[in-house]
Structure 1
Amino acid sequence: MPDGAAPVLDVQNLKTVFRVRGGEVHAVNSVSFDLRPGELLGVVGESGSGKSVTMMSLLGLLPSPPAEVREGTVMLGDRNLLTMGAEDMRNVRGGEVGFVFQDPMTSLNPVFNVGFQIMEPLRVHMGLTRRKARDRAVELLEIVGIPDARRRLKDYPHQFSGGMRQRVMIAIALACDPKVLIADEPTTALDVTIQAQILELVKDLRQKLGMAIIWITHDLGVIAGIADRVLVMYGGQVAEQGPVRELFANPAHPYTRALLQTMPKLHGTRDDKLRVIEGQPPMLGAHPTACPFRDRCPHAMEICARENPQRRPLGGNHDVACHWDHREAAL
């Protein structure tokens, strides 16, 4: 990642609300982050923390209604994605920004062969002829490690294993040489061996192609192995962000610390129990006016119940949204 390089993606004060019967759900609350060329940003948090909704908000992938991006800017270079018209946004999706969804079986269309599904963005976004699109589709399948690629273009999604379907999804996302690749928990449904293969594939592709990647996951072990920087989300907002080594070595938010403590240890005894985070995630029915983690936090103070903490810098591109001073206690 080039030092001092301008962000390829810059998100500021993003707010997304779902209108539901009886009120609103504030799913994303003032989320800000950037992504630099060639960087891999890991986004972690429990289910319901706002990870996927945040990333889908960037590209207008949420149904409207009930979803509404109420505030913020999403700058891709010098263009604000949130003010783009429908046609311009279609050109960005699959063109400049690729998206790999969580479940390849439901993301791939079962009635079209994979060749058609890879060739379609090539013809729409890059204007390639059928022959050139086919040749490029073969090349993409070879890049993601699918053997006998030309023959397999004619196969349908059900004829591929789970890991191979995920490779097809990555090939589709890479088809138009995107500046940014967003991967939404792409290995969650895969077994550990196939998951490791996909992670190695992404590392290799990132090195070869130099694209910036946002990797959404609940697995801190995955993030430790592939990310440059980590964004920890809780209750629809950013709890902490920083370089991966710094954040793992010196977590500042009680939630980050709790997540790290739930990870299984390599060295231990059979009697050691897995740690859990007590309590339940917050209800997001109103705009937050207090810290969303306060009811589960061992360090909660009076101010936490009346003031939502703002992110404050800790140095070295590391910041945290917390009233508690983490230097008061060791992990």
Structure 2
Amino acid sequence: MRDTPQPLLDVTALKTVFHTRSGDVHAVNEVSFDIAPGELVGVVGESGSGKSVTMMSLMGLLPKSAEISGGEVLFQGRNVRGMDRNDLLAFRGRDVGVVFQDPMTSLNPVFNVGYQITDRLRKYMGLSRADARKRAAELLALVGIPDPEQRLRDYPHQFSGGMRQRVMIAIALACDPKLLIADEPTTALDVTIQAQILELVRELRQKLDMGIIWITHDLGVVAGIADRVLVMYGGQIVEQGPVAELFANPQHPYTRALLETLPSVTEERSERLRTIEGQPPSLNAAPSSCSFAPRCRHAFDRCLRENPTRIDVGPRHDAACWWDPATGGPRNV
């Protein structure tokens, strides 16, 4: 899977544990992936599958109860886990931009948006007050907010939901980051505004040549914008591959189950939407068997006693599963 000569981000065997009163929660288990400059990688899975915790682990944005217990995170060859506090702050502020799900709780209600953008520019780019304000107006224009000079004076509550999300994108792009992490940025928006944000991301990606990690529940969004897809379940990546290949030839039963839940325009309106039976796994122990086996109709003895390793099934396409969809039986590994 490491066929990119110099990946922008290279994550190897990342493990994150939350220490709680009721025991340890193994939220991220041996996660490995990379992303190339200019590549958009979609991360999908049910709630609790480890998507957001993985990305927060990359940036060291974890609560005190959490610990990165293993693995390596390299950004342009630099060891992120080995950075001191100042280097880590610069990494978060300058090299990586983050867009969170709810812009209203991410923006500070007591400061106008101009201050929230220029503060970042002055701190990490060393711009003067006047230059920072000019750049802030350019950023608002870049994300499609009309009359940007005037809107710099406005407060978050004076913007619509879609406009607030555009402000968050402007803040994330302020320091020309090489990597953008978008954590379900369109979930709280209506369909029309969602389409506008997605089109904006496509345009910005072409202009700025950023690597983008797009976390979402929506496989339809991933199909429209991503180059590759990471499918997460139980704190692990159970399948990853190019978007067209993965949608056309899913190799893991969980990926297949997710795709089957997508509504179809050809189905009768009276038909019930498909669901995945059962519940996500408990993460109170590191997995010793396939986490999806209790919900999988293809599970057999090996699945219940041995956690599957990721097996190459095509170019940049692998799956962590002992079952072979081509034969309907165990893989020959």
Task: Return the TM-score normalized by structure 1.
Answer: 0.97
Structure 2 equivalent of residue 25 of structure 1: 25
Can you list the C-alpha shifts for 1:115-155, whole angstroms capped at 9, x where unaligned?
Answer: 00011111111100000000000000000000000001011
Deviation per CA, 1:59-118: give whole Å up to 9, x if none.
011112x01011111100121111111111000112001111111000001111000001
Tell me which residue corresponds to 1:78.
77
Tell me the distance in 1 between the aligned counterparts of 2:8 and 2:94: 14
Contact 1:5 1:37 in 2 (8 A): no
Match of 2:240 in 1: 241
Aligned pair count? Answer: 327
Task: Give the structure 2 partner of residue 62 of structure 1.
Answer: 62
What is aligned with 1:197? 196
Shift of 1:5: 4.8
Query: How far does residue 329 in structure 1 lie from its aligned partner after superposition?
Result: 4.6
Deviations 1:213-242 (A, max 9, x none): 000001000000000000000000001000
Partners of 2:151 and 2:229 in 1: how far apart? 37
Q: CA deviation at 1:270?
A: 2.8
Q: How does 1:193-232 map to 2 (within 5 A)?
A: 193-232=192-231
Corresponding position of 1:120: 119
Partner of 2:310: 311
Letter in 2 for 1:71: G
Letter of the structure 2 residue corresponding to residue 13 of structure 1: A
* Matched-pair identity in %: 69
* Counterpart residue identity of residue 33, structure 1: F
Cα deviation, 1:278-329, whole Å, max 9, x if unaligned, reads 0000010011101110110010111111111010101211000001112125
Alpha-carbon shift at residue 248 of structure 1 (Å): 0.1
Give the 5 Å matches for 1:1-331: 4-64=4-64, 66-329=65-328
TM-score, normalised to structure 2, is 0.97
**Structure 2: distance between partners of 1:270 and 1:242:** 32
Give the AA of the match of 1:282.
P
Q: Determine the C-alpha separation between the residues in 2 that align with 1:174 and 1:73.
A: 26
- Aligned residue type for 2:320: A
Matches of 2:26 and 2:82, distance apart in 1: 21
Task: Tell me how large the CA RMSD over aligned residues is.
Answer: 1.1
* Greater alpha carbon shift after TM alignment, 269-278 vs 128-137: 269-278
Contact 1:261 1:275 in 2 (8 A): yes
Moved more, 261-270 or 196-205: 261-270
Q: Deviations over 1:15-37 (max 9, x none)?
A: 00000003100000000000001
Listed one character per residue, the Cα deviations across residues 184-236 of structure 1 (whole Å, up to 9, x for unaligned) are: 00000001110000000000000111111000001000000000000000000
Where in structure 1 are there 5+ consecutive unaligned residues? none
Amino acid corresponding to residue 304 of structure 2 in structure 1 = A
Unaligned runs of 5+ in 2: none
CA-to-partner distance for each residue in 1:30-71, whole Å, 9 max, x for gaps?
00000001000000000000000000000011112x010111
CA contact (8 A) 1:98 1:180 kept: yes
Preserved CA contact (<8 Å) 1:253 1:320: yes
Q: Where does structure 1 differ by over 6 angstroms across 4 or more consecutive aligned residues? A: none
3-state SS of 2:220 partner: helix
